[in-house]
Amino acid sequence: MNRKEQSFFNFEAAPCAVLHYSEIGLKGRNRPIFVDRLRHQLEKTTRPFGTGRVQKLPGRLLLGLGEEVDWPEVCEALTRVFGLAYFARALRVPLDLDFVCEAALKMIAPQHISTFRVRTRKGFESVPISTREWNTIIGGQIQARRHLPVNLEMPQTTVTVEALPDEAIVYSERVPGPGGLPVGTSGRVAAMLSGGIDSPVAAYRMLKRGCEVVFVHFHGAPYVSRASAEKALDLAGILDGYQLGSRIYLVPFGNLQKEIVLSTAPTSRVVLYRRFMARITDRIATLENAKAIVTGESLGQVASQTLSNLIAIDEAVDTSILRPLLGMDKEEIVSEAKAIGTYEISIEPDQDCCSLFVPGRPAVRSASTHLRKLESAMKVERMVEQTLEESAVLEIRRGKRPQAKYLSEVFSLENSSASCEAESIGSDNSKSVR
């Protein structure tokens, strides 16, 4: 028995997951930065399941899978890693046609298949094989051993062979990834997170575009229950599944709203509430070194979201306010909320600050000059500072919620007007607030 025959007799393919990206591949010279971040997120996501390291190969990544790894759990976790176009459970074998045929048969052995096709792709043009020849020979082996018909147009299963210079990756069941960019490649934002339908979708969209997201929730304490805060924590827990390390600020807004009610006419109150929310979130963004504020506003959806009112809200802060849902209608937003798993929590009844002290007919065309005149009669800085001092902050780690602490115990508010470097919320070394 020669060496090849002996190796074939002891054939044992290495189980792995092949991981493909799409948009990252268009990044040119910056591509290594995105690939390294994706690799980091993949290892962070799959580490609890006992997987191996993530290896970089040309145009793809490979995740080592032991025999004891629970693939359904790993598969579900991978669907939350932004940057992945698709992935598959695979076998890794030497670049040898006999080994590849055996790996293909092994991959489809547990599957109930009616029709199939084989598709061989070369990772490099220099790989010394003929893809057409390999397709024919591998397909012939599967037909001979499994007695399955070939369907090149609409097969039930496609056996894919990715031929690399020294090895081949074989798989048959491709799973769609979430797309987007790896979290952490686009900077950090502070997202207002209510207990409603829209804002979790807005935060999700920013996560998908590679942003780390810090959550800010305004609740109506001391005039309403903690129900909206609990909902916000649950929603942040779901969204944390995409970045694995989140910080959420719980801001008691009731007293500030009451001050506005006592000093202004009803029609201007809603936009004034939103201007103060923007100011407070802006201060938190500075603390967190976040470069933008994110809201779930959709143009014209409610009175406070007319173009005039949105411009008036923007005028209250220098930081950019991003509105990922601006051009979406309610049905589109609801559909996306259902898809990401936040909808059922969002529709639970609660008392939030948005329904507290709300006038019957709010203004739809607010002017910044008029609002500034109203605010000149208030002690704006004191109101913002006091609300921040009463706010709480906590961190979420894989769904766990440690005890909240007052914001003043975590950060020095005296220096919050100057930019300060916050620790990375997505880092394994991030300090948990306990």
Pair 169, 223 in one domain: no
Pair 277, 379 in one domain: yes
The three-class DSSP label of residue 57 is strand
Pair 55, 118 in one domain: yes
In angstroms, rounded to a whole number, what is the distance separating the alpha carbons of residues 308 and 299?
10
pLDDT value of residue 398? 73
Q: Is the pLDDT of residue 9 over 60?
A: no
CA angle 353–303–358, rounded 5-degree value:
35
Pair 120, 256 in one domain: no
Helix (H) or strand (E) holding 334: helix 330-340
How many structural domains compose the chain? Answer: 2
Is 183 contained in some domain? Answer: no
19-32: pLDDT as tens digits: 999 899 888 889 99
Domain end residue (candidates: 121, 142, 176): 176
In angstroms, rounded to a whole number, what is the distance separating the alpha carbons of residues 192 and 276?
12
In angstroms, rounded to a whole number, what is the distance separating the alpha carbons of residues 147 and 170?
20
Pair 297, 380 in one domain: yes
Tell me what the pLDDT averaged over the chain comes to. Answer: 87
Pair 171, 198 in one domain: no
Q: What percent of the chain has pLDDT over 70?
A: 87
330-380: pLDDT as tens digits: 999 999 999 999 999 999 877 665 665 666 677 788 888 999 999 999 999
34-79: pLDDT as tens digits: 999 999 999 999 999 989 899 998 889 999 998 788 999 999 999 9
Q: Is the pLDDT of residue 417 over 50?
A: no
Is 227 contained in some domain? Answer: yes
Pair 327, 228 in one domain: yes
Confidence band for 6, pLDDT divided at 50, 70 and 90:
very low
Domain end residue (candidates: 141, 176, 211): 176
Examine residue 222 and say whether the peptide bond preceding it is cis (omega within 30 degrees of 0): yes
Pair 22, 143 in one domain: yes
Q: Is the pLDDT of residue 149 over 80?
A: yes
Is 430 contained in some domain? Answer: no
The CATH number of whichever domain residue 42 belongs to comes to 3.30.2130.30
Pair 168, 239 in one domain: no
Pair 282, 411 in one domain: yes
Domain with 162, as residue range(s), is 3-176
